[in-house]
Amino acid sequence: MSHVTTSDGTRIFYKDWGTGRPVVLSHGWPLNSDSWEAQQLFLAEHGYRAVAHDRRGHGRSTQTWHGNDMETYADDLAALLDHLDLREVTLVGFSTGGGEITRYIGRHGTARVAQAVLVAAVPPLMTRRDDNPGGVPPEVFDGLRAGSRADRSQLYRDLADGPFFNHPARPVPQGVRDAFWLQSMAAGHRNAHESIAAFSATDFRADLARFDVPTLVIHGDADQVVPFEVGGRASAALVEDAELLVYPGAPHGLTDTHKQTLGEDLLAFLEGYGR
């Protein structure tokens, strides 16, 4: 298996498929790079080098005790890009992965980056607080932490059967929901638990202000995990000249429920670069 070792000794697993201009795909919580399989295969078959990694504590990467925060996630991503010496990269982040690539740009700039894509992503700030009154109540995340400690296997099943894939007009197959559970259980218990704070309480507004590359924001308007108004619409408003694509009726897990449309939209955005 392919790994890059970071400065603190953490081994980050990655898959490197295809040849061409690189696309790096960052996954959501509490999943791993397997959640990008459909898009990674599609892009590699259409002339791009598609790279997807497992965040520390998730999938086949080291289950560290420390570093379950956006700063470390972003630095791990920087280690991956440096290790592979990727240039003219398009960064694509889903949900928590959207936070990871946003904090990467905030901390490391865009010297290696050509484009950015936020898919049902957690920026600019999920949690409700005085300067973010439209956010998600903090009790929601307290409930996730309590569920994780009580029975995280059941928590992941409930998420897959409920808000993650909720799409009344398009039932999600059992196999897709089973894959969500399987990937989630591969994450470290502490890592996944601590990551709830990372994706919900990190303020990405200053990072988004540093975006100076073409940016595409994709979000479903029926997202029950990262509500559209909290995520996609708010992020698009903070990135100059960002393009916003709204998927009518789409839930949070649109990498599965809308994988064909998402692949085609990613491809169109990639092929528009430099024109």
The set of catalytic residues is 95, 223, 252
In DSSP terms, which residues pair with 132 in a beta bridge? 129
For residue 144, count other CB atoms closer than 10 A to its CB.
Answer: 20
Contact between 106 and 74 under an 8 Å Cβ cutoff? The reply is yes
CA distance 121 to 66: 24
Query: Which residues sit opposite 94 in a β-bridge?
Result: 119
Burial-class residue 146 by CB neighbours within 10 Å (0-12, 13-18, 19+): exposed
Phi-psi region of 67 (alpha: psi -120 to 50; beta: other; left: phi over 0): left
HEC per residue, 93-134:
EECHHHHHHHHHHHHHCCCCEEEEEEECCCCCCCECECCECC
CA neighbor of 91 nearest in space, from 249, 225, 210? 210
- Cis peptide bond upstream of 30, omega within 30: yes
Say if residue 124 is preceded by a cis peptide, omega within 30 of 0: yes
Q: How far apart are CA 69 and CA 86, in angstroms?
A: 24
Owner of token pair 């995340």: 141
Alpha carbons within 13 A on the beta-carbon side of 113: 24
